[in-house]
């Protein structure tokens, strides 16, 4: 049991209470507890019951329910609600644009209890006829439901990585094993978890895999040298290829590279032919045989990575070690979990030289966005912390930023006098996401043209496997950034990875810097920059064109030069 698991159970209970029309007071109790505990730094599994009741949003009654969860792993209130709920209804909670109250109407009025019935009702026009719905709501439900269904057997890279590692660690106890495929190539969306293992007797691997309790074999799809199946609680397919020990590296290389990468002509041969010709001890040796430098798996995309220009850039590609600071982060001033000082010291502990704090702006009321008065108070705290760091001899600096909402007309969330008080501004769209491309571009370009905008944040608004984002003309957006000296964000959260790495070559061509921003809401969120670096490398991003490779003094000079008034 973890904090996250406890909060998830409280959130699910809240949704089910709304679904079943329970009284507002009870709903608010669970809602407030989940909201506040999601931000707490206390370890909910060990806090004494008496102290638990003193946490914000908890109280004695809710403390006893949390204690029940951590003792039993479940909650009677939740189990009672689940017993009254058709299983298919729970899947509807994943559909964007539809909450528990609307799901209740659909269930009670039309007797719909699963997503397939809901899809059919949308296509027949039944949803639009319900009171409080209409054609637009029906269209939103239909679009988002189709999006979810099309991605039902896929995983984000972070989730797929964890599952692949669990299986790899189990296999490694008996056989040499390597994660391959989309996971090793750092694909942002994974369709298939693949591994290669080595054994003289493939039947032994098959037998071992079938002893594992967390995977299940698809016997019809499997062959003597390929075990196919899935994780018991996931629909994503899993494939384990069994190689002879002497060809293990060859198979790992082939399964960690795109077909296009393997078949590009090189000196009257290809990487595939070279790999199949004889056993190799290392992947580096395969490249060396053709006179090529080693390309790590995330670069083997089959685009232009083997061109002379790309090969020349290899030593300059962005790495984690090259990052000097982190910008676009949140603290308890808005919806973050850790205080400003905790966020700063954690960044310093990682060896970074600066923290760009960019809490939410005032329009983001749902995220405790900062009023003008609170901005002034936060800036005072930043000044005090920076002075304290200097007194301690800590070479670390906090830059004053804001994640300003881009409003419906493309303007930013504060007037000029407030905007000029920041060192930098991340301008992002958070509301009214259902836009035509024309509307989205008007909104984004006006924000980019605002002289106070430093970075354009998560430019499509996508949430991978959950929300496709609004349509964007990437070339026009990058052209606008180039014309206005605005940095393009690569939001490193594995939920976003936005801008898409495929935009990077055009951004580099136009001289637009990319900022690998974790959008961290807690100190662990800094680690998301690993995902950002991985996909940035896929796009060929260099150290020189990465915004947050600037040193502290370089960043101060850059921001001072851009600052107006």
CATH superfamily of 320-562: Metal-dependent hydrolases (3.20.20.140)
Q: Which position has the token pair 């750092």?
A: 186
Stretch(es) of the chain classified as CATH 3.20.20.140: 320-562
Q: Is 230 left (phi over 0), alpha (psi -120 to 50) or beta?
A: beta
Q: Per the structure block, which two tokens stand in for 423? A: 């060192």
Reduce the DSSP state of residue 459 to 3 states and report it. Answer: coil
pLDDT tens track for 314-355? 999 999 999 999 999 999 999 999 999 999 999 999 999 999
CA distance 357 to 530: 19
pLDDT higher than 80, residue 104: yes
Tokens representing 357? 């704090």
Predicted confidence (pLDDT) per residue in 356-379, tens digit: 999 999 999 989 999 999 999 999
Query: Which residue intervals of the chain bear CATH 1.10.150.110?
Result: 3-150
- Strand 226-231 and strand 215-217: pairing? antiparallel
Instruction: Output the six-digit token pair for 344.
Output: 């700063």
Residues 6 or more apart whose CB falls under 8 angstroms from that of 438 comprise none
Q: How many whole angstroms separate alpha carbon 231 and alpha carbon 193?
A: 10
pLDDT-derived band at 149, boundaries 50, 70, 90: confident
**Is the pLDDT at 564 greater than 80, yes or no?**
no
Question: 3-class DSSP state for residue 236?
Answer: coil
Q: Count other C-beta atoms under 10 Å from residue 312's C-beta.
A: 10
Residue 424 three-state SS: strand
CA angle, 468 then 473 then 479, to 5° = 135
Whole-angstrom CA distances from 131 to 20, 102, 106, 499 are: 18, 10, 10, 38
Torsion angles phi and psi, residue 226, rounded to 5: -140, 115
Q: Sign of the CA dihedral 212, 215, 221, 223?
A: negative
Q: Would you state the pLDDT for residue 96?
A: 83
State the Cα–Cα distance between residues 325 and 347, nearest whole angstrom: 8
Query: Which pLDDT score, from 0 to 100, does residue 41 have?
Result: 86
> What is the domain class of 155-311 according to CATH?
alpha beta
Burial state string for 452-484 with b = 16 or more CB within 10 A and e = fewer than 16: bbbbbbbbbbbbbbebbbbebebeebbbbbbeb
Is the CB of residue 498 less than 8 Å from the CB of residue 460?
yes
Q: Are 510 and 484 within 8 A, CB to CB? A: no
List the CATH code of the domain at 3-150: 1.10.150.110
Gyration radius (Cα) of the chain, Å: 26
pLDDT number for residue 523 = 96
State how far the Cα of 382 lies from the Cα of 388, in Å rounded to an integer: 10
Q: pLDDT digit string (tens) for 234-266?
A: 899 999 999 999 999 999 999 999 999 999 999
**Cβ partners under 8 Å of residue 75, min gap 6:** 9, 13, 65, 68, 69
What kind and span of H or E run contains 355?
strand 354-360
CA 222/CA 549 separation, integer angstroms: 47
pLDDT at 280 over 70: yes
* pLDDT at residue number 565: 58
Q: So what's the pLDDT on residue 111?
A: 95
Q: How far apart are CA 465 and CA 290, in angstroms?
A: 39
The answer, yes or no, to whether residue 39 has pLDDT greater than 90, is no
Burial of 137 per CB tally in 10 Å (0-12, 13-18, 19+): middle
Q: In the chain, where does the domain assigned CATH 3.30.460.10 lie?
A: 155-311
**Length in residues, the chain:** 565
- Quote the CA–CA distance of 370 and 347 in Å, as a whole number: 23
Which residues, in sequence order, are CB contacts of 148 under 8 Å at separation 6+?
94, 95, 115, 465, 466
In three-state secondary structure terms, 214 is coil
Quick one: what percent of the chain has pLDDT higher than 90? 92
What is the average pLDDT across 414-443?
96
3-state secondary structure of 116: helix
Average of per-residue pLDDT across 194-212: 97
Give pLDDT, residue 178: 98
């Amino acid at each position: 049991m973890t904090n996250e698991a406890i909060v998830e159970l409280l959130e699910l209970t809240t949704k089910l209470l709304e679904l079943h029309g329970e009284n507002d007071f009870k709903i608010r109790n669970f809602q407030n507890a989940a909201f506040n505990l999601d931000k707490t730094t206390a370890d909910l599994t060990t806090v004494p019951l008496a102290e638990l009741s003193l946490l914000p949003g908890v109280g004695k009654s809710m403390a006893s329910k949390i204690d029940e969860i951590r003792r039993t792993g479940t909650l009677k209130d939740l189990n009672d609600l689940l017993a009254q709920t058709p299983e298919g209804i729970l899947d509807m909670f994943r559909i964007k644009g539809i909450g528990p109250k609307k799901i209740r109407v659909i269930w009670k009025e039309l007797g719909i209890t699963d997503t397939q019935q809901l899809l059919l009702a949308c296509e027949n026009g039944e949803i639009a006829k319900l009171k409080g719905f209409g054609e637009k709501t029906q269209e939103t439900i239909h679009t988002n439901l189709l999006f979810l269904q099309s991605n039902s057997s896929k995983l984000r890279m972070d989730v797929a990585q964890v599952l692949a590692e669990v299986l790899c660690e189990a296999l490694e106890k008996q056989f040499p094993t390597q994660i391959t495929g989309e996971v090793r190539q750092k694909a942002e969306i994974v369709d298939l978890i693949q591994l290669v293992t080595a054994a003289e007797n493939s039947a032994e691997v098959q037998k071992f895999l079938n002893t594992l309790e967390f995977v299940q074999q698809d016997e019809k799809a499997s062959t003597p040298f390929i075990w196919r199946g899935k994780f018991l609680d996931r629909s994503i397919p899993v494939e384990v290829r069994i190689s002879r020990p002497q060809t293990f590296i060859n198979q790992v290389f082939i399964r960690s590279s795109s077909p296009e990468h393997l078949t590009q002509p090189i000196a009257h041969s290809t990487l595939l032919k070279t790999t199949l010709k004889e056993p190799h001890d290392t992947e580096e040796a395969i490249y060396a045989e053709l006179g090529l430098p080693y390309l790590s798996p995330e670069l083997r995309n089959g685009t232009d990575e083997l061109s002379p220009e790309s090969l020349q850039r290899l030593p300059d590609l962005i790495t984690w070690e090259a990052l000097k600071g982190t910008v676009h982060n949140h603290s308890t001033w808005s919806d973050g979990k850790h205080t400003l000082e905790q966020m700063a010291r954690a960044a310093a502990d990682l060896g970074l030289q600066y923290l760009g704090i960019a809490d939410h702006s005032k329009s983001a009321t749902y995220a405790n966005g900062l009023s003008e008065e609170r901005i002034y108070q936060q800036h005072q705290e930043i000044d005090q912390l920076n002075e304290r760091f200097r007194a301690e001899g800590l070479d670390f600096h906090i830059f004053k930023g804001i994640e300003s909402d881009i409003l419906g007309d493309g303007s930013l969330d504060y007037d000029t006098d407030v905007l000029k008080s920041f060192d930098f501004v991340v301008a992002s769209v958070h509301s009214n996401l259902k836009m035509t491309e024309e509307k989205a571009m008007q909104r984004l370009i006006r924000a980019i043209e605002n002289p106070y905008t430093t970075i354009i944040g998560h430019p499509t608004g996508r949430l991978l496997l959950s929300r496709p984002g609004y349509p964007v003309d990437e070339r026009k957006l990058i052209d606008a950034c180039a014309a206005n000296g605005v940095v393009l964000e690569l939001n490193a959260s594995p939920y976003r990875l936005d801008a898409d790495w495929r935009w990077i070559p055009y951004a580099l061509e136009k001289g637009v810097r990319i900022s690998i921003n974790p959008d961290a809401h807690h100190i662990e969120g800094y680690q998301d920059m690993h995902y950002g670096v991985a996909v940035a490398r896929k796009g060929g991003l260099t150290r020189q064109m990465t915004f947050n490779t600037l040193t502290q003094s370089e960043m101060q000079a850059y921001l001072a030069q851009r600052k107006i008034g």
